[in-house]
């Protein structure tokens, strides 16, 4: 008797669960958009105040130019977007257009799972290759099996650009009579001079980990060739991380830490806190990306400028840079043409002008006579991006190289900075991760 009752309960429970599931599925099936009214669902991560307004403006103008089209915008932070997007793209009612983070663990994995639409026919139709270079396009490209990064089909177009360089406190530089260095040798001499004056040469905090990759890789980019950094990032031609150049970059970074060029207690300071200190006038320089420029304009009595980490005497230098998170199209969408039209609008001259006005680097050239003030910090970052974009010197975020590279680099760089490991240990440990990936 007892057993029978238990069975009854289990049956009842299962019936309830099944019922609940069916109830959830049914309304979705009957929901079809009216033929004239088309809704394009767009997921983006421009959640910060100013950039969100740019998106709203662009969407409104797109709707005005396409009668009957409605944009349904969903805004998420990048972290939220990364976690939820993969499953959303497997849904028949998922977003038609979404921002997909570059690199293997996001775009690569989604291409492998067949979730993204190849954009090559639209590339030809809209002549996108005149808007951005092959080097930029390859960052959003994968082979159809998702295995090879940097070649094959185009899967996304990026509205914005990024470059990693040196922000400097103009107010402090003027007070002490320091000049913007022209070579890396001058840069290191300046670090020593700033240290002597009692100021902190480089505002930095490694508690969050990821920005330590930029500190190291910014130096690395002065030493390696574009071919090398392409090969390393895209995992082709079997290059090694254990090289003279990487060893030298690691040595320089460790020397800076030992010489006390970073903020006091940098190991216990987070990225945002370190920037807040820099903005408040502590630290002469900080090495990070152009995305910070907007933050350094208001609510501070200090003046800031930006320059690229200068090259070694007689060498040409690359800089970490790239294009922002691209817009991609869901493979199973029924509105591919409209979605492509939307992507094209996101990289139009009008969009470039709006992004520039908001203090963000547009991925494509600013149109002639655009109403944008460039005699300021934003102008400095724009100049830096132009320099590397036109000089074919746009490097990479090296943490794209393998799915575990980010975690490995963060852990190994913290050890290197804390002198727990030597530069030789560092390159060997990172190479171990890289080789394990290549051999898979």
Contact residues: another protein, CB under 8 A: 5, 8-9, 12-13, 16-17, 82-83, 86-87, 89-90, 105, 109-110, 112-115, 206-209, 263-270, 273, 277, 282, 403-404, 406-407, 410-412, 414-415, 418, 420
Q: Which CB sits closer to another protein, 112 or 186?
A: 112
Q: Which CB sits closer to another protein, 347 or 410?
A: 410
Beta carbon of residue 324, minimum distance to another protein (angstroms, whole number): 20
Beta carbon of residue 13, minimum distance to another protein (angstroms, whole number): 6
Beta carbon of residue 67, minimum distance to another protein (angstroms, whole number): 36
Helix (H) or strand (E) holding 62: helix 49-65
CA angle 123, 382, 374 (to 5 degrees): 125
Residues 6+ apart with CB under 8 A from 37: 68, 70
Q: Which CB sits closer to another protein, 222 or 257?
A: 257
Q: Which CB sits closer to another protein, 244 or 272?
A: 272
Beta carbon of residue 152, minimum distance to another protein (angstroms, whole number): 18
- The widest CA-to-CA distance across the chain, in whole angstroms, is 93
Q: Which CB sits closer to another protein, 105 or 374?
A: 105
CA–CA distance, 342 with 44 (Å, rounded to integer): 13
The closest of 128, 190, 184, 188 to 156, measured between CA atoms, is: 128
Long-range CB contacts for residues 72-76, cutoff 8 Å, separation at least 24? 72/39, 72/40, 72/41, 72/42, 73/42, 73/44, 74/41, 74/42, 74/43, 74/44, 75/43, 75/44, 75/45, 75/46, 75/47, 76/43, 76/44, 76/45, 76/47
Contact in structure between 126 and 340 (CB atoms under 8 Å): yes
Contact in structure between 141 and 230 (CB atoms under 8 Å): no
Contact in structure between 307 and 166 (CB atoms under 8 Å): yes
What DSSP string runs through 372-431?
---SSHHHHHHHHHHHHHHTT-B---GGGSSTTHHHHHHHHHHHHHTTSS-HHHHHHHHH
Residue at token pair 């680099």: 409
β 153-154/141-142 pair status:
antiparallel
Q: Which CB sits closer to another protein, 206 or 387?
A: 206
Beta carbon of residue 9, minimum distance to another protein (angstroms, whole number): 5
b/e sequence 367-391, b meaning 16+ C-beta within 10 Å: eeebebeeeebbbbbbebbebbbee
Beta carbon of residue 418, minimum distance to another protein (angstroms, whole number): 6
Q: Which CB sits closer to another protein, 59 or 288?
A: 288
Beta carbon of residue 327, minimum distance to another protein (angstroms, whole number): 20
Beta carbon of residue 273, minimum distance to another protein (angstroms, whole number): 6
Residue at token pair 């980010």: 406
Q: Which CB sits closer to another protein, 94 or 324?
A: 94
CA–CA distance, 160 with 151 (Å, rounded to integer): 21
| Token reading at 195 | 């240290």
Q: Which CB sits closer to another protein, 209 or 367?
A: 209
Q: Which CB sits closer to another protein, 206 or 381?
A: 206
Beta carbon of residue 399, minimum distance to another protein (angstroms, whole number): 11
Beta carbon of residue 11, minimum distance to another protein (angstroms, whole number): 12
CA–CA distance, 156 with 97 (Å, rounded to integer): 10
CA–CA distance, 240 with 243 (Å, rounded to integer): 7
Beta carbon of residue 282, minimum distance to another protein (angstroms, whole number): 8
Residues 6+ apart with CB under 8 A from 440: none
Q: Which CB sits closer to another protein, 277 or 340?
A: 277
């Amino acid at each position: 008797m007892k057993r029978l009752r238990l069975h009854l309960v289990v049956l009842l429970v299962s019936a309830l669960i099944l019922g609940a599931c069916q109830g959830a599925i049914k309304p979705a099936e009957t929901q079809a958009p009216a033929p004239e009214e088309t809704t394009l669902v767009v997921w983006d991560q421009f959640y910060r105040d100013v950039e969100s307004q740019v998106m709203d403006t662009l969407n409104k103008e797109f709707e005005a130019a396409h009668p009957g089209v409605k944009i349904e915008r969903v805004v998420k932070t990048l972290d939220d977007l990364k976690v939820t997007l993969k499953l959303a793209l497997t849904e028949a009612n998922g977003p038609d257009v979404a921002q997909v983070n570059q690199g293997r663990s996001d775009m690569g994995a989604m291409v492998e799972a067949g979730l993204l639409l190849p954009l090559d026919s639209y590339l030809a139709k809209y002549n996108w290759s005149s808007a951005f270079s092959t080097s930029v396009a390859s960052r959003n490209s994968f082979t159809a099996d998702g295995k090879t990064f940097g070649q094959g089909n185009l899967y996304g177009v990026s509205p914005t650009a990024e470059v990693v360089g040196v922000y400097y406190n103009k107010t402090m530089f003027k007070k002490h009579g320091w000049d913007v260095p022209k070579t890396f040798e001058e840069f290191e001499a300046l670090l020593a001079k700033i240290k002597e004056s009692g100021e902190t040469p480089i505002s930095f905090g490694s508690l969050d980990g990821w920005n330590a990759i930029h500190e190291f890789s910014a130096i690395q980019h002065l030493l390696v060739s574009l071919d090398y950094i392409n090969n390393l990032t895209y995992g082709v031609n079997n290059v090694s991380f254990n090289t003279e150049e990487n060893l030298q970059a690691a040595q320089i970074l460790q020397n800076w830490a030992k010489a006390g060029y970073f903020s006091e207690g940098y190991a216990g300071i987070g990225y945002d806190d370190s920037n807040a200190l820099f903005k408040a006038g502590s630290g002469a320089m900080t090495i990070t990306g152009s995305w910070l420029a907007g933050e350094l304009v208001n609510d501070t009595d200090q003046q800031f400028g930006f320059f690229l980490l200068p090259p070694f005497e007689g060498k040409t230098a690359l800089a970490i840079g790239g294009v922002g998170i691209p817009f991609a199209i869901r493979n199973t969408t029924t509105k591919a043409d409209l979605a492509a039209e939307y992507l094209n609008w996101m990289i139009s001259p009008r969009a470039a002008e709006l992004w520039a006005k908001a203090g963000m680097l547009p991925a494509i050239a600013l149109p002639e006579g655009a109403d944008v003030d460039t005699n300021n910090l934003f102008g400095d970052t724009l100049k830096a991006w132009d320099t590397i974009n036109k000089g074919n010197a746009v490097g990479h975020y090296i943490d794209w190289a393998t799915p575990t590279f980010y975690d490995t680099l963060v852990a190994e760089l913290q050890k290197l900075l804390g002198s727990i490991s030597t530069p030789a240990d560092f390159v060997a440990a990172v190479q171990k991760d890289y080789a394990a990936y290549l051999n898979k």
